[in-house]
Amino acid sequence: MVASAVFILDAKGKIIISRNFRGDVPMSISERFSLYIQEREETDQQPVFTEEGYTFVYIRYNNLLLMSVTKRNSNVALMLVYLYKLTDVFRDYFGELEEESIRDNFVIIYELLDETMDFGYPQTMESKILREYITQEGNRLEVAPRPPVALTNAVSWRSEGIKHRKNEIFLDVVEKLNLLVSSNGTVLHSEILGAVKMKSFLSGMPELKLGLNDKLLFESTGRTSGKGKAVELEDIKFHQCVRLARFENDRTISFIPPDGEFDLMTYRLATHVKPLIWVETVVEPHSHSRIEYMVKAKSQFKSRSVANNVEIVIPVPGDVDSPAFKASVGSVAYHPERNAAVWSIKQFHGSREYLMRAHFGLPSIAADDQAEWRAPIQVRFEIPYFTVSGIQVRYLKIIEKSGYQALPWVRYITQNGDYQLRMV
């Protein structure tokens, strides 16, 4: 990548702040970009375009435009990544990124631009590293007298000399289930979106190795997965700390972690999943005078697991009144602003079935529009110590030259994503 200049502009394309890194493009070039923004409909605008030998790359964030320009045959994908990373840095420093926060922090922004790019080449973009030598005190900036160790270190996301009184690492495997089910129980769409989240409090420069019940790993090594099943992960994305060449070669997840909290990896599984919580609803309207609901909720996971803070959101006509509820467990409330009754169950044990009855007055004829009050039911939940995919952490090895012992803590959590059950 060689970015000649970076501009931050308002929604109309007027410059708020700019930095020329190479001096090979005139700063008046921003006028061409402003004309492009003003003369084209937003749907016709492209994030990358070329005019008269200049390549413009830009992103939108709130009421701002962040744009870089180059005359060279540059890596535009890397230029886009730089702009997105720059928004993350600004948000970390200013809380929110908008026109007002840019105007209030010119000094810091110039320093950040100079530290994140050198002569058109991106440098460190990690806020934790930048904060070691760019500290914010109101609108003033203090610069440490020496460069950060991370810039002279091969591991740009971690400083040397980190010390913790107690060496620990916490690993959370969090899966969200997107599900769409027809009224007869047929699964129309199911998808698992997973993330391996870590909180690292380890001293020194530790080397970690993570082993999962990865189907491709077992197949490539000829091993079996033991008692559990192997999982075939798709669309895997790693934090930059993971050695990708090692993973491609032998499926080993090897890395030196950043200090603190980060997402080690995300993945997706397009697999058939039966509803963890199944809801059946019988709706009986009575000649525009009242409407009754009979709702049956059933947990279809093993009895040793428990779903916490379950919410079953049942759409109702917009003009109902006089709500009355009776539930075998939990509580039910009418939310007129959402046109829904919400059945809340604090703990829903596995292999259980519960009933709820709802009664509403229905004074108006508007209830004939069944598309409104028979919209899909939505379910919210969280099941700890459980993954719907069956993914398992087989081991997490921690190696550090000082030889200290650290205890890894592993948790599993399954949550709802876009979880919908059709009523008709």
Which one, of 286, 277, 274, lies nearest residue 354 by Cα?
A: 277
Do 321 and 177 fall into the same domain? no
How many domains is the chain built from? 3
Tell me, yes or no, whether 190 and 312 share the same domain: no
- Residue 163 covered by a domain: no
Are 378 and 394 contained in the same domain?
no
- Residue 244 is assigned to a structural domain of this protein: yes
For residues 355 and 406, membership in a common domain is answered with no
Q: What is the pLDDT of residue 139?
A: 40
19 and 146 part of one domain: yes
Tens-digit pLDDT profile for residues 384-403: 999 999 999 999 999 999 99
Q: Which domain, by its residues, includes 313? A: 277-384
**CA 258/CA 256 separation, integer angstroms:** 7
395 with 268, same domain: the answer is yes
402 shares a domain with 354 = no
Q: Is the dihedral of CA 319, 324, 325, 326 positive or negative?
A: negative
The pLDDT value given to residue 367: 45
For residue 229, the domain's CATH number is: 2.60.40.1170
Instruction: Tell me: do 284 and 183 sit in the same domain.
Output: no
Given a contact cutoff of 8 angstroms between Cβ atoms, the answer to whether 313 and 394 are in contact is no
Distance CA(37)–CA(85), nearest Å, equals: 23
pLDDT of 104 reads 86
* Domain-embedded: residue 160: no
Q: Is 312 domain-assigned?
A: yes
Q: Assess if residue 148 is contained within a domain.
A: yes
Q: Residue 140: its pLDDT value, please?
A: 35
pLDDT of residue 1: 60
Q: State residue 371's pLDDT score.
A: 61
Q: What are the residue ranges in the chain where pLDDT is below 50?
A: 137-146, 149-152, 225, 367
pLDDT at 222: 56
Q: Are residues 198 and 267 in the same domain?
A: yes
Say if 14 falls within a structural domain: yes
Q: Which amino acid is at 15?
A: I
